[in-house]
Amino acid sequence: MASQTKTKYVLITGCSDNGIGSALAKSFHAKGLHIIATARNITKMQNLQSLPNITFLELDVTSPESITAAYTIVEKQTNGKLDYLVNNSGAGFVMPLLDSDIDMGKNMFEVNVWGVIRVTQVFAPLVVNAKGMIVNNVSTAACLGLPYQGMYCGSKAAIRLISETLALEMKPLGVKVIIVITGNIRTKWFSNSPRFELPEGSYYSSMIDRIGVFARGEQGHPEMEPEVYAEKVVGDVLGGTEGTIWRGAQSSIVRVAMGVIPSWLMTTCQRDGTGYSEAIADSGMSLLFIWRIILGL
């Protein structure tokens, strides 16, 4: 008598339409997993509605009550075992640090840092029972001080280091942890971020047009399609990879550059287009320039 294949479950946070979470859900689904797709608003997951073997749950990573309610449903559905937990939810905004609203920053940290920890703490028993895997979506912003995104960079740097610690602590429990350093992906991330508007009297008023380019994501950097990104990440996850991986446009450039480019040059390149220096801005120094240095071109 042929043995039945055990159903494997993956829970993904932040699965709203046209985002990374939605693309990951489709890719995992194509590999035969049962998807538990979550978002703060279930109606924003229309792109996944036609898929069989998928469960839709409301889950607000900033709400302990919402997380607990979702856990109760997932524990029953999976018989107490969750093979993969993907912490994908994220938030951000563009604003000079001197002008950044502290409460907005706290709300962002609630999603990008404390939300990841809350979800992981609550669902850890199911992942431990399955000897499964936790996947935390970080960002290349965790590695670089991006102009006018200081609070966002800080939140991603924090969760990156926390995730590295988590990997060490979960190892004795038989759970793998993957930290995905994500580069540029073609999503509506910038359009879904809070509207950019400098406060009256800002030191940066004369640079508002330049900052607006950052706020709208119009720097012209290469972007990877979310479906391509998801296929690569899911391949890593199901292939048993653990530790830190780099996926998405320009992530490999950042990875290599962090190891071989002097910090002063990295800082200089990050000033490109910020209004700090017309000479630097006109030099065209960018991550592409860094890549040329690496290759000796």
**N residues, the chain:** 297
| Annotation says 106 is catalytic | no
From 71, 84, 148, 152, active-site residue: 152
DSSP secondary structure letters along 18-83: TSHHHHHHHHHHHTTPEEEEEES-GGG-GGGTT-SSEEEEE--TT-HHHHHHHHHHHHHHTTT--S
At residue 145's C-alpha, the angle toward residues 277 and 233, to 5°, is 130
Sequence letter at residue 186? R
From 156, 171, 176, 203, active-site residue: 156
| Annotation says 148 is catalytic | no
Q: Are 279 and 288 in contact (CB under 8 A)?
A: no
Phi, psi of 91 (to 5 degrees): -145, 160
Instruction: Report helix, strand or coil for 297.
Output: coil
Q: Are 185 and 248 in contact (CB under 8 A)?
A: yes
What interhelical angle do 64-77 and 115-130 show, nearest 10?
A: 20
Active site residues: 152, 156
